[in-house]
Amino acid sequence: MKGIVFLDRDGTLIEEVHYLSDPARMKEIPGAAESLRRLAKAGYALAVISNQAGLAKGKFLEEQWEAVHLAFVEHFRSHGVEFDAVEYCPHHPEGTVERYRKACACRKPAPGLARKVLRRMALPPSCSMWVVGDKMSDISMGKRLRAETILLATGHGEEERRECERRGERPGVFLPSIREAADWILSGGKKK
C-alpha cells in the first residue's frame, strides 16, 4: 500500500446539496470516479470521512441518510471504485435530535474517524497520507493527522479559501477539483 487518501463526500466527490436527503439529487462531480480509480490503481487506499450534521439537526431521518449513503457507495462501485472505508459523523453540539447532540472526537476537524480507519487498516508508518476536501475543517483534520492537505475549489472551496486567507490559514495546496487533486497526489505533490 502506497498510502491513504482521506476524502470528504459532499462538495468533493458529489455535488454539494444542502442537507442531501434524496438519493435522486446526488450527482457525481465530473471526473471523481475516474480520479479515484487512478488513485486506487496506483496503490492508495480510499477513505471517505464526512460530517453529516443533518441527522443531529433533524434535517433528514436516518432512513433518508441510509438511502443516500447506499446510493453513494453503489454509484461509485458501479463506476469501478471500492472504498476501503466510509465513515460518517452524525453529531453536532447544537443538534435538536437528543441522541446526536454532543461535541465528539469524530466530527471534523477532529481526527477521530480518520484515526479509527488508520487503526483498522493497520497501515505502515511509511505510508503517505493525504486529506482532500472543500472545507477548512477537512484541512484542519489533515494537519492534525500530519497529512498532506488539498483544498478543492468545488463545493464550498472558493469561499473557504477566501475566508482562510483572511485569517492567515493555508491548505497545503488549493486545486480546482478532484481530477487535479489526483494528478497532484500521483505526482508526489509536485507540479507537472
* 1 within a domain of the structure (yes/no): no
Q: Is 138 a catalytic residue?
A: no
> In 10 A of CB 102, how many CB atoms?
12
Domain that includes residue 176, residue range: 7-186
Residue-level pLDDT at 191: 62
* 43 within a domain of the structure (yes/no): yes
Q: Name the helix (H) or strand (E) containing 50.
A: strand 44-51
159/155 Cα distance (integer angstroms): 9
Kindly name the residue from 8, 84, 134, 183 that is annotated as catalytic. 8
Residue-level pLDDT at 19: 94
Per run of 10 residues, the mean pLDDT along the chain (length 192 residues) is 95 96 97 98 97 96 96 98 98 95 96 95 86 96 96 95 86 96 92 57
* 80 within a domain of the structure (yes/no): yes
* 192 within a domain of the structure (yes/no): no
* 191 within a domain of the structure (yes/no): no
* 89 within a domain of the structure (yes/no): yes
* 2 within a domain of the structure (yes/no): no
| Grid cell in block for residue 82 | 471500492
* 128 within a domain of the structure (yes/no): yes
DSSP 8-class letter at 189 = S
Q: Is 10 a catalytic residue?
A: yes
The CATH number of the domain holding residue 114 is 3.40.50.1000
DSSP 8-class letter at 100 = G
Number of domains in the chain: 1
